[in-house]
Structure 1
């Protein structure tokens, strides 16, 4: 036992030293240096007050007028104006820097090109729209918006399997990966070495040896503490085509604010997975971080898989110069009679560059067309006025709105911020539950035993406006009942939050939450 303790201490010391003297510390130091230079420039400008005051005042007025008239969410407008009021010079110059979109313009243009290239593979079957109109006309408007504004068609003939936990998704994913004959596509926000990822990696290596094409993409944030910076090079030695999306570099650029938060796995164009589950051991409760980790996912088989395939290829090729043989990866569509019992599935993606709040639109559509209930699971609750208004009006209309939140948070500041919304929601009739065994990472909406959405989109500013995300809208499919049954099972393990509890909340948490709310859109 003493040997094990000594070994653990040495490992911990090594981990601390690697952080202090490693690449993460270097990146942080260089970023802080650049911020320091910006602040120094502001200080220098103040020394030339006689000449600069008028110029800076005019510049500030121009910027404020631009901010007020800028198209977008009012919450961002108010936060920027507050920043410029508190720090007039720094706030103004920082806004100009952020809005110059250094680095993100090129990525936005490339993504736009890829969407044009793949347009022909995302055509809408009009017979599906005609059937949908007879079944639920309200969803036709959503389908029209998704297809003609964003390029995402709605499908029939798609089987959906819902997984109420990360380990169930993992076991099925392993089985499907082992069946691969042509290709495997993986795109995830978090990947960390451990039982889950190592198991998958061994399958990928074996499949490469069998001649299966494997592409693996993960977000560059993993290079901070999860994976070595040269991990893509290591993967390429195994024959796996691998890349980081937006690698973290020691340069202040707005593109680093837009992370790839998506979770997509596609096998042979036959099967696709999405949901909240990343590729790390806490997601399957192999290790414990914040109590029991409650997460969800879904598997799709059939026509709708093609959208997941194309979404992956669009993102993969956003940083590629050459062309892509998209037709080599297309899904073989069902022919003949439509399987009515499978209903409709609409996979979708959300981008910070498309000027459309896709995830929020789907959530609002479900709330606005509910007749009996809307049940929600989300790890974070950081709401703008529009979403708050939709949630409270739905509840005030006599519709049951219930939200399951974590009881053990992963980020104390996000939890403190979430609690600032509790009182207004509860007073409007929204029910809030906290999952007492641990942390909720699921992102689901389900309503009226008819519709649901499963994906990667949290109820916070980052997911709704700043990150790349994805999900699937599901209507009249048996999986909807499975999602609702899981909600009911989960709620039995929850504590129902009361107004009295909220009013007695720790004063320090209240102060922190209210202060953070001022800058919530920029967090």
Structure 2
């Protein structure tokens, strides 16, 4: 009986409705093309000319060449359908309206994210290159560089979960949470229990999660369930049964802010596999970071900027700054420089990729990377291979057990060219690596939500923390080497022994890599 009810929920559920609706709309587009093709002889010349203009337009766009190629091939191969489809995508206005609203919110928070000139001057004296990177992040991403901030690194989701519970229990004023995935289970149920108690104590709780969860993980009405408990809750960009491209821009960030004093980010979502209470793809290796101090302000404003995209009432941003009378415990180590930053897919500025490229290009001794995906554009491949060729130790740890077969095939299609250049690739034997970590030369590191794939670098809302000359970088390096000890190095012999059909599929998938 349970199986019948489950089947009925699937058949008549929102996910099925959305999928069927999208397929119907695609079918209508294709049917329109077939209808027009009957009269193709009458206006083929006009469409050929239009296709030529569209290709010239694409060539001159300020856009990654991989995206240009992904569009130019279908337009050249099927001029009528390809051109119509491109114009349909390009003329979408919802994303433009969202970007306009986000820009307004950033302008309203600008006064709370001003750069401390003394901090920038000190960074400039120590490292002009890192000061220039900090200026880029401030000018392009609106987030300043801070001192007076403590960072604690978590090598596993279980460790971060324990600290999250402690900080949530200690909340006095407000709790802000923004996550990509939420699923009922031990992790979320435990946190939700704390949030309910905190609401009763008078703590303001805001909770936002990405609308993709409404497809299979949570009911579409779940925000109302949370609101009934006193929690201010919403979905970011709920999935709707409409064929539109803005739904491709997901909120992939993971942010927890408590009282403007503490902030968390990293790869860890709110589901049991992230704390290894549920086994999916073997052992789940993930990482996170907790900040205490001045840099928390950036995460507070980052959350409010996204929250207010869909709000009409004005926000009192200053209300959520750190209590000026609060002093952090003296035992906290507030060394080094910290730059929390966000990345939007709507502003044509690839902050996440530029920070990664800067780390690779400035490395003198090593670059150590943990990432679940390796779907690379030309610039990233060139940066990694050139670093290895000039003697920099470049090591990338990937999963041995992937969560997405097609993504793993794409990653393997890059292995050969990277390994030939001297890049070392390892696969984590116990299971799946979901960590997004860069470390270089014992002086700099990034921990955040940004994968090495097109979706994270170009299509998703993301966030991360850049660390320079912080003691916590030693902890990151220690974790990297511990993970490396549980990993197996991939050789050229391995690459040659991969099944030919897998390699062929991986190379064919490169054409669609910008969509993956």
Under a length normalisation based on structure 2, what TM-score does the superposition of the two structures give? 0.97
Secondary structure at the residue paired with 1:420?
A: helix
Q: How does 1:77-226 map to 2 (within 5 A)?
A: 77-226=68-217
1:311 maps onto 2:285 in alignment: no
Query: In the TM superposition, what is the alpha-carbon distance from 1:79 to its structure 2 partner?
Result: 1.2
Q: Secondary structure at the match of 1:347?
A: strand
1:504 maps onto 2:497 in alignment: yes
Q: Which residue of 2 aligns with 1:439?
A: 432
Deviations 1:350-370 (A, max 9, x none): 001121110001101111111
Equivalent residue for 1:348, pick from 341, 350, 361: 341
- Aligned ranges for residues 401-416 of structure 1 at < 5 Å? 401-416=394-409
User: What is the alpha-carbon distance in structure 2 between the residues aligned to residue 58 and residue 103 of structure 1?
Assistant: 29
Q: CA deviation at 1:50?
A: 3.0
Q: Deviations over 1:82-130 (max 9, x none)?
A: 1212332221111111111231111111001001111100000010011
Q: Distance in 2 between matches of 1:150 and 1:491?
A: 33
Q: Structure 1 residues 388, 16: CA separation in 2 closer, same or farther (over 3 Å shift)?
A: farther
Q: How does 1:316-331 map to 2 (within 5 A)?
A: 316-331=307-322
CA deviation profile, 1:363-412 (whole Å, cap 9, x unmatched): 01111111110000000000000010001101111000000000000000
When residues 403 and 15 of structure 1 are mapped into structure 2, their CA distance, relative to the original with a 3 A threshold, is farther
Q: Any idea what SS the aligned residue of 2:176 has?
A: strand
2-structure distance, mates of 1:508, 1:109: 45
For 1:75, which of 54, 63, 66 is the aligned residue? Answer: 66
Q: Which residue is 1:5 aligned to? A: none
Write the mapping of 1:280-299 to structure 2, written as runs, cut at 5 A: 280-299=271-290
What is the distance in 2 between the residues matched to 1:203 and 1:414?
37
Q: Are residues 1:467 and 2:460 paired?
A: yes
Gaps of 5+ in 2: none
Shift of the 495–208 alpha-carbon distance from structure 1 to 2, 3 Å rule, reads same
Shift of 1:454: 0.4
- Over 3 Å off, 4+ runs: 10-17, 332-337
CA RMSD, aligned part only? 1.5
Cα distance in 1 between the residues matched to 2:2 and 2:408: 31
Instruction: Determine helix, strand or coil for the equivalent of 2:403.
Output: coil
**Could you tell me which residue of structure 1 aligns to residue 356 of structure 2?**
363
Q: Deviations over 1:263-289 (max 9, x none)?
A: 000000000000000000000000001
Q: State the match for 1:3 in structure 2.
A: none
**Residue 247 and residue 340 in structure 1: after superposition, are their counterparts in 2 closer, same or farther (change >3 A)?**
closer
- Alignment of 1:420 onto 2:404: no
8 Å Cα contact 1:376/1:403 also seen in 2: yes
Q: Is the 8 A contact 1:295 1:440 kept in 2?
A: yes
For residues 189-244 of structure 1, the C-alpha deviation after alignment (integer angstroms, 9 at most, x for no partner) is 00000000000000000000000000000000000001000001111000000000
Tell whether the 8 Å contact from 1:270 to 1:302 is kept in structure 2 after alignment: yes
- Cα distance in 2 between the residues matched to 1:178 and 1:447: 35
2:438 is paired with a residue whose SS is strand
1:26 aligns with 2:33: no
SS of aligned partner of 1:342: coil
Higher deviation after alignment, 207-216 or 73-82: 73-82
Contact 1:102 1:253 in 2 (8 A): no
Aligned pair partner of 2:34 in 27, 32, 43: 43
Cα offsets for 1:457-481 (capped at 9, x unmatched): 0000000000000001001111111
Shift of 1:13: 5.1
Q: TM-score, normalised by structure 1?
A: 0.96
Asked if 1 retains the 8 angstrom alpha-carbon contact of 2:147 and 2:334, the reply is: no
Who is 2:377 aligned against? Answer: 384
Measure, in 1, the Cα distance between the counterparts of 2:445 and 2:369.
10
Alignment of 1:228-267 (within 5 A): 228-267=219-258
2:470 aligns to what? 477
Counterpart in the other structure of 1:7: none
Structure 1, residues 112-154: CA drift from partner, whole Å, max 9, x if none?
1001111100000010011111222210100111112321100
Contact map agreement 2:149 2:334 (CA 8 A) in 1: no
CA–CA distance in 1 between the matches of 2:110 and 2:48?
47
Instruction: Work out the CA distance in 1 between the residues paired with 2:437 and 2:64.
Output: 23
Q: How many residues align?
A: 513
Give the secondary structure class of the aligned counterpart of 1:28: helix
Distance change in 2, residues 1:382/1:259 (3 Å): same
Partner in structure 2 of residue 63 of structure 1: 54
In the alignment, the residues of structure 2 paired with residue 428 and residue 301 of structure 1 have an alpha-carbon distance, to the nearest angstrom, of 40
CA gap of 1:14–1:165, structure 2 versus 1, over 3 A, is farther
3-state SS, counterpart of residue 507 of structure 2:
helix
